[in-house]
Amino acid sequence: MRLAHRLLLQSLAIVAVLVVSVVVIIDNQLYSSITDQTTHDLAGEARLLATQWRPGVDPDSLADEAGVATGHRVTLIDSTGHVVGDSEFDGPALQGLENHSNRPEVIAARKNGLGSVRRMSPSTGEEQLYVAVKASRGTARVSVTTRKVDELFARARSGVLVAGVISSLLAVILAALFSRAVSKPITDLRDVARSLAAGERRRHPALAAPGEVGDLADAINRLAEQLEARLSALAAEQSILSALVETLNEGVLAISPSREVVRINETGRRLLSIDRPVPFEIDFLPRESTLRNAIQLALNGSETEPEEIVVRDTTLSLTARPLATGGAVVALFDLSPIRKLEAVRRDFVANVSHELRTPLTIVGGFAETLQDPAVPQDKRVEFARTIFASTLRMQRIVDELLDLSRIESGHWSPRPQPISIAEATAEIFGRVTPAAKTKGITLETDFASGAETVYADRTALEQILLNLVENALRYTGEDGRITIRTVRRDNGVSLTVSDTGSGIPAEHLPRIFERFYRADSGRSREAGGTGLGLAIVRHLVEAHGGSVSADSTLGVGTTIRIFFPDGTDR
């Protein structure tokens, strides 16, 4: 048996003898103390009851009230021994109680002023502890079943036993500490030596041992410190490497020779939808043939060229490399943003080319026609006007593209200020009044109270209103109506431009604020639209921190709703 164990067992034996002796002594005295304390408490209750039993007080009611208040049985006995009040008996039952003159506690109370006894109650059939005191009108008695006293003793005994157990546990701890302190120098050297042999470098021996043991401990401690310093340096390098891997925009997987994924960064988990803790089998990776083949080739020692794979609708660039010590590393790069930008670029080039083709064709055709000397003068003027109109259309497309590019690139930022919506509306209506009169369109305004001003950039607000009103004019027929309204919201002003035009089909509404998107492209071009006006409106409004939306009903009209937040909320 080890030294520490022998010391511990001897200490525990001594403690166990002491604890048992103390518990037995306390147990013998505890019951007597609890009984005496209970008797004292009942005597106090009886004395208080005796002082309240005065002439004119109904003894039975007094007994009932005292019984409810104390939770004990209360009995009032007159000088002849008759029970005149009892908290547990009323009416005929009270009248049927025996004469209590010969009860030991009553006799003792009459003689000495206080009497107590423990006996079986003939009235209740339970063993009771009775305490009686002499009163001016007889005897006041309070009793409690010995079962309650026993329960109180049991609880107290439990407390003593718990204290004994706790003391034993504390003694065990102290004994263990004592035995450890005695044997610590030797066991420390043994454990540290074993740890070093097992590859554990963090444990150090105690340096307080005397003599040769202390010298040996010091030597082992220096050895452990050197190993710990080297391991700490390696851990720091590993931490830096882990941080670098986690910050990569590429997904990185490390696969062991046993075909288990032992390392995967967060980007890799997101791209492959993996939430399993490492390590896990490669069978849990997506079942994509190119991915599986690349991993297998890398595990066999072959490098793979970058390949594109599609995993859950995401296009990824895949590269797999073998490791010198076995295993493989796989890198995944998300190509979806690049593919999306390429698609946007293709769509943009196609849209711009499509928009410029018609006016360029018109300009080229009519310019070629004008080279013929046989063309009459009146036709020449007509052709020149057509060329000029097409040139203006191309100029407008280029200008709006430049505006849109400037807004999207962040080279423009609004300078908001309180602006009278009535003044801005009057300026815009003044520009479009001739075109509105030609078609017989009525221009109206409706500004709600508290919504007469908006917090916006003046130039941007005028461009927004002009684009929306011109757009409404293109699609509103003769004798139609265009209305600009404002409504006050909690944190800003809502501005709407409504018309009674042809309306927009519901399936087109989510996309009308995209560049070059038209619900009816042929009709839009005939009306002179470029397909960029609503896109410019959306970017200008969002630059103010606002929002824009559209509601439309075919054959009824369209409403464009814009929200400008107040300056205090920006």
- 476-501 tens-digit pLDDT: 888 899 999 999 988 899 999 999 98
Mark whether 514 and 473 lie in a shared domain: yes
Is 504 or 407 the better-scoring residue by pLDDT? Answer: 504
Q: Are 542 and 513 in contact (CB under 8 A)?
A: no
- At 35, which amino acid appears? T
Mark whether 277 and 370 lie in a shared domain: no
| Residue that terminates a domain, selected from 192, 217, 246 | 246
CATH number at residue 123: 3.30.450.20
Mark whether 21 and 105 lie in a shared domain: yes
Q: Is 538 exposed, middle or buried (0-12, 13-18, 19+ CB in 10 A)?
A: buried
Of 225-234, 345-354, 368-377, which has the strongest mean pLDDT?
Answer: 368-377
| Residue that terminates a domain, selected from 302, 334, 366 | 334
End-to-end CA distance of the chain: 79
- 62-75 tens-digit pLDDT: 888 888 888 888 88
Determine, yes or no, domain membership for 159: no
pLDDT value at residue 483: 92
d(CA 517, CA 550): 14
Determine, yes or no, domain membership for 167: no
- 515-537 tens-digit pLDDT: 666 555 444 444 445 567 788 78
552: β partners: 558
Cα→Cα distances 289→226, 295, 302, Å: 49, 10, 17
Determine, yes or no, domain membership for 450: yes
Determine, yes or no, domain membership for 147: yes
| Residue that terminates a domain, selected from 380, 408, 436 | 408
Determine, yes or no, domain membership for 197: no
Determine, yes or no, domain membership for 164: no
Q: Are 191 and 20 in contact (CB under 8 A)?
A: no
- pLDDT surpassing 70 at residue 397: no
Residues 199-223 have a mean pLDDT of: 65
d(CA 549, CA 531): 17
Determine, yes or no, domain membership for 232: yes
Mark whether 284 and 381 lie in a shared domain: no
Q: For residue 364, which phi and psi values (nearest 5 degrees)?
A: -65, -45
Mark whether 226 and 252 lie in a shared domain: no
- 3-26 tens-digit pLDDT: 566 766 777 777 777 777 777 777
Neighbours of 335 (CB within 10 A): 16
Structure tokens that stand for 311 in this block: 């995993």
The sign one gets for the Cα dihedral 7, 12, 17, 21 is: positive
Mark whether 507 and 431 lie in a shared domain: yes
Cα→Cα distances 406→398, 401, 412, Å: 12, 8, 6
Q: Give me the domain span that covers residue 213.
A: 202-246
Mark whether 12 and 146 lie in a shared domain: yes
Cα→Cα distances 142→43, 61, 67, 94, 243, Å: 7, 15, 9, 16, 79
Q: Is 400 left (phi over 0), alpha (psi -120 to 50) or beta?
A: alpha
Mark whether 528 and 388 lie in a shared domain: no
Structure tokens that stand for 480 in this block: 């139609």
CATH number at residue 398: 1.10.287.130
Is 154 or 57 the better-scoring residue by pLDDT? Answer: 57
Mark whether 220 and 274 lie in a shared domain: no
Cα→Cα distances 133→73, 123, 137, 222, 279, Å: 14, 20, 11, 82, 82
Mark whether 363 and 462 lie in a shared domain: no
Determine, yes or no, domain membership for 174: no
pTM (predicted TM-score):
0.41
Mark whether 504 and 521 lie in a shared domain: yes
Mark whether 299 and 377 lie in a shared domain: no
Contacts of range 353-358, beta carbons closer than 8 Å, 24 or more positions apart: 354/516, 355/397, 355/516, 355/530, 355/531, 356/394, 356/397, 358/390, 358/525
- 41-51 tens-digit pLDDT: 888 888 888 88
pLDDT value at residue 563: 92
d(CA 48, CA 38): 16
Domains: count for the chain? 5
The sign one gets for the Cα dihedral 187, 193, 194, 199 is: positive
